[in-house]
Amino acid sequence: MIPLAKKATPAAIAVLRQATAIWPKRMKASDGLLPSKAHVNQNPNSDHNSGHAVDLTHDPIAGVNCSVIYSELQKDERVEYLIFKGKIWSKIKGEHIYTGPNKHNKHLHISIKKQCANDTSSWFPWMPEPSPINKVKAKVSKVKAKKKEPTSPKEN
């Protein structure tokens, strides 16, 4: 059994933080870093136990499309394996049917390589960099659009 970490690794925490910066309105219901005690008993060898795994909530309405992220992250050297919608992928084994009890329909599971635990570079490099100024601008233009032209094509 892997000893329980007190804190998730910086790389795992960065996934959730960066996702929230890019998609501020995303749902977090299925987010996860460290496991609950019940989870540990069920999965004594889970990468969550050592802080090297993260679950990202699938919320395509808010922009967090985990099908896309599952494909894109296959290019990321930090990824040990990914699980989403009944499939598991790793660089060594490729894609297979995931036979675990939880099919992972509501979240993408990302296991991070041990040697990459402190690498917090962008997990979503295909997305434009979020900047605080852009976020403020986006809010202002939304308010304006609501008042004057409710069907601005840019908002969709």
Residues interacting with Zn ion, by CB under 5 A?
55, 109
Q: How far is the CB of 32 from Zn ion (least distance, A)?
A: 6
Q: How far is the CB of 122 from Zn ion (least distance, A)?
A: 21
Q: How far is the CB of 31 from Zn ion (least distance, A)?
A: 10
3-state SS class at 138 = helix
Closer residue to Zn ion (CB): 22 or 34: 34
Q: How many CB atoms lie within 10 A of CB 40?
A: 17
Q: How far is the CB of 41 from Zn ion (least distance, A)?
A: 15
Q: How many CB atoms lie within 10 A of CB 50?
A: 20
Closer residue to Zn ion (CB): 55 or 59: 55
- Give the residue at shortest CB distance from Zn ion: 109
- b/e for 114-131, b at 16 or more Cβ within 10 A? eebbebbeebbeebeebe
Measured CA to CA, the distance from residue 59 to residue 149 in angstroms comes to 27
Report whether 109 contacts 55 (CB < 8 A): yes
Closer residue to Zn ion (CB): 22 or 35: 35
Closer residue to Zn ion (CB): 12 or 22: 12
